[in-house]
Chain A
Amino acid sequence: MTFISDTFLSFRREIGPTMRSWYYIVFGVVQPLLYLGLFVPLLTAMPMGGDGNALQWFVPGMMVMLVLFTTVSCGWALTEELVSGSFERFLATPASRPGLLVGRALKELAPLLIQALILIVVAAPFGLHLYPVPMLIGLALLMIFGIGVASFSYALAIASKNDGGLFYMVSHSVSLPLMLLGGVLLPMQMAPDWLYIASRFNPLTYLVEAERALFMGEVFTPIVGYGALVAVLVAIAGIAVGTVTVKRASL
């Protein structure tokens, strides 16, 4: 199927420069350790809503945040290739349009996946209980969700390619309230009623809750089901919008 092979092709092209920049890899390894070292000690002193270790609660939320912020802004990397002719060059080949987008998205997500694995392994001696299968399912859901958000971001980059400021403004004014309303950093159970109700209308909330449940070792529960549904719907909608935008674009 050309979608799959072109996804790999696009991923292969994009990952090349990443693999060659050592500072990028070093930064990628250090970043999650900073969160663990500088934020988690503070967190353990806070009264959290649920029971269990603070790490068990915080690590999945942080991963959702990393995935959201990375993928929402990754259209920026496409802008440069939109302004030059290199994206257009691929559009003049038979390469699958969704494949081109998803391959690019995976290039952004691959380092995050490695960061997440490092984070889990490093946090384990500090009290993170390991539930390997549920945790891997959690990471897979994050990847699916990330592909969707990245595709929306590519669509936005194409729509705003002549105005970099517009891309930045729209992507941030969407992602910031989503993140704050998703209960990523602090439990929404502590929020006033109106804020709690608002958070129930945020799809990200369900993904965050599903990730937390998976990190507690749950798999076959409605919470995980809702989160998985959100991830899949975001991916389908994102790829559809991204592909249509590419096809209609007059670059």
Chain B
Amino acid sequence: MIHGRDITRTFKTKTGTVEAVRGLNLDVGEGELVAFLGPNGAGKSTSVRMLTTLLPMTSGAASVGGHDVTRAPEKVRRMIGYVGQKTGSGPYHRVRDELIIQGRAQRMSESESRKRANELLGMLELEDLADRDCNSLSGGQKRRLDVALGLMHTPKILFLDEPSTGLDPHSRANLWDHVMRIRRETGMTIFLTTHYLDEADTMAERVMVMDHGKMIADDTPERLKAELAGDTIRLAMVSEGETLIAAEVAANLPNARDIAPNGRSFSVTVRDGAAVMPHFLRALHERGVDIATASVRQPTLDDVFLNLTGRSLRENAIAA
């Protein structure tokens, strides 16, 4: 449904040329739910804006829904729903009017638009707000309206650019409930950008990690975590010298790395920690090591990002 080849985008600024996107290649199949994950400024939004015809590419080629983004932008626009980073509704316009106008702009008839607007007002729990001015809506309500606007013409592909940024946890969860339900019902392809780790982890079937305008990883969250981060086994020993024995034993575990004896505590990173743990503990028991506590920590996508770039996404999110 979405294919990109060697997409680049440069911006000219006062201080020189900025390469926002550098040689992006991507393929998204029909019905997939894919997330672009990366810090602010990684080039996620710029990429989405090029795929949605809002920004011309500097070089490269892309097709969305079978149409070339540069040569047939109008055909692409009819295929896609676009929910931008910022509020899409006009402040002084009424909720229902905005939906109907959006449908008309997407070449639906007046009666189709009215019918679909009512349908979406119901689906996204906006009925009671239908005749209100959009600027009287809460942040979560505005965002639901943005999604409704993007869904008016029942697009095959939905682009969501930072859909939940700035929402409180309750509104975020609520928005996602709606999006996931609509997806189950329609099977549409969804392409989203986010800098929320948990969002990419729990919602997306495939995560593309972006940093400095390049895609640095592309896989399911499970495989990314298994291959690029691994599980961390942590132990606390009863007495100090025993961590050195543990380090010796750990060195024989398959794929063990980051072996870190430290006082009475000990950690090692392995693949599939839950399965390795019983063997590890038995081996330690046979060497006479007394264990006080043991735990396995599953990795997050932040660990993946940290391993790929040496930086944490969390720090980035806070700094930005």
Residues of A within 8 A of B (CB): 6, 9, 12-13, 16-17, 80-81, 83-86, 88-95, 248, 250-251
Which residues of the other chain, A, contact B191 by a CB distance below 8 angstroms?
A: none
The smallest beta-carbon distance between A13 and chain B, in angstroms, is: 5
A-B contact pairs, 30 of them (CB 8 A): A6-B105, A9-B101, A13-B93, A13-B98, A17-B92, A17-B133, A80-B91, A81-B90, A84-B86, A84-B88, A85-B87, A86-B89, A86-B90, A88-B54, A88-B86, A88-B88, A89-B82, A89-B84, A89-B102, A89-B149, A91-B54, A93-B77, A93-B106, A94-B74, A94-B77, A94-B105, A94-B106, A94-B107, A250-B49, A251-B54
The smallest beta-carbon distance between A23 and chain B, in angstroms, is: 13
Q: Give the dominant DSSP class at A's interface.
A: helix
Which residues of the other chain, B, contact A89 by a CB distance below 8 angstroms?
A: 82, 84, 88, 102, 149
Number of B residues near A (Cβ < 8 Å) is 34
The one of A9, A16, A83, A248 in contact with B105, judged by C-beta atoms closer than 8 angstroms, is A9
Which of chain B's residues 28-71 have a Cβ closer than 8 Å to chain A? 49, 52-56
Mark B86-129 against chain A: 1 for CB-CB distance below 8 A, else 0.
11111111100110011011110000000000000000000000
Given A84-B91, A86-B87, residue A92 in contact with residue B53 (CB < 8 A): yes
The one of B52, B56, B97, B98 in contact with A92, judged by C-beta atoms closer than 8 angstroms, is B52
The smallest beta-carbon distance between A61 and chain B, in angstroms, is: 33
The smallest beta-carbon distance between B146 and chain A, in angstroms, is: 8
Which residues of the other chain, A, contact B86 by a CB distance below 8 angstroms?
A: 83-85, 88
User: Quick one: closest A residue to B81, CB to CB?
Assistant: A92
Given A91-B54, A94-B107, A250-B55, residue A86 in contact with residue B102 (CB < 8 A): no
Asked if residues B105 and A85 are in contact (CB atoms below 8 Å), the reply is no
Which residues of the other chain, B, contact A86 by a CB distance below 8 angstroms?
A: 87-90
Say yes or no: is B80 at the interface (Cβ < 8 Å to chain A): yes
Given A92-B54, A250-B11, residue A9 in contact with residue B89 (CB < 8 A): no
The smallest beta-carbon distance between A137 and chain B, in angstroms, is: 32
The one of A17, A93, A248, A250 in contact with B102, judged by C-beta atoms closer than 8 angstroms, is A93
CA distance A88 to B90 in the complex (A): 11
Given A9-B104, A12-B101, residue A92 in contact with residue B74 (CB < 8 A): no
CA distance A86 to B107 in the complex (A): 18
CA distance A85 to B145 in the complex (A): 13
User: Quick one: closest B residue to A89, CB to CB?
Assistant: B88
Asked if residues B90 and A93 are in contact (CB atoms below 8 Å), the reply is no
CA distance A71 to B146 in the complex (A): 30
Say yes or no: is B264 at the interface (Cβ < 8 Å to chain A): no
Which residues of the other chain, B, contact A16 by a CB distance below 8 angstroms?
A: 93-94, 97
The one of B84, B106, B107 in contact with A85, judged by C-beta atoms closer than 8 angstroms, is B84
Which residues of the other chain, B, contact A13 by a CB distance below 8 angstroms?
A: 90, 93, 97-98, 101
Say yes or no: is B78 at the interface (Cβ < 8 Å to chain A): yes
Say yes or no: is B85 at the interface (Cβ < 8 Å to chain A): yes
CA distance A93 to B98 in the complex (A): 13
CA distance A13 to B149 in the complex (A): 14
Which of chain B's residues 126-153 have a Cβ closer than 8 Å to chain A? 133, 146, 149
CA distance A17 to B268 in the complex (A): 63
User: Quick one: closest A residue to B74, CB to CB?
Assistant: A94
Which residues of the other chain, A, contact B92 by a CB distance below 8 angstroms?
A: 17
Asked if residues B80 and A92 are in contact (CB atoms below 8 Å), the reply is yes
Asked if residues A94 and B78 are in contact (CB atoms below 8 Å), the reply is yes
The smallest beta-carbon distance between B46 and chain A, in angstroms, is: 9
The smallest beta-carbon distance between B39 and chain A, in angstroms, is: 20
Which residues of the other chain, A, contact B101 by a CB distance below 8 angstroms?
A: 9, 12-13
CA distance A84 to B74 in the complex (A): 23
User: Quick one: closest B residue to A91, CB to CB?
Assistant: B54
Which residues of the other chain, A, contact B49 by a CB distance below 8 angstroms?
A: 250
Asked if residues A90 and B105 are in contact (CB atoms below 8 Å), the reply is yes
CA distance A89 to B134 in the complex (A): 15
The smallest beta-carbon distance between A11 and chain B, in angstroms, is: 11
CA distance A175 to B84 in the complex (A): 35
Which residues of the other chain, B, contact A85 by a CB distance below 8 angstroms?
A: 84-88, 146
CA distance A88 to B105 in the complex (A): 13
Nearest 6 Cβ contacts at the A-B interface = A85-B86, A92-B82, A17-B92, A89-B88, A85-B84, A93-B105
The smallest beta-carbon distance between A15 and chain B, in angstroms, is: 11
CA distance A13 to B96 in the complex (A): 11
Give the most central of B11, B77, B87, B105: most A CB within 10 Å.
B105
CA distance A133 to B185 in the complex (A): 59
The smallest beta-carbon distance between B160 and chain A, in angstroms, is: 12
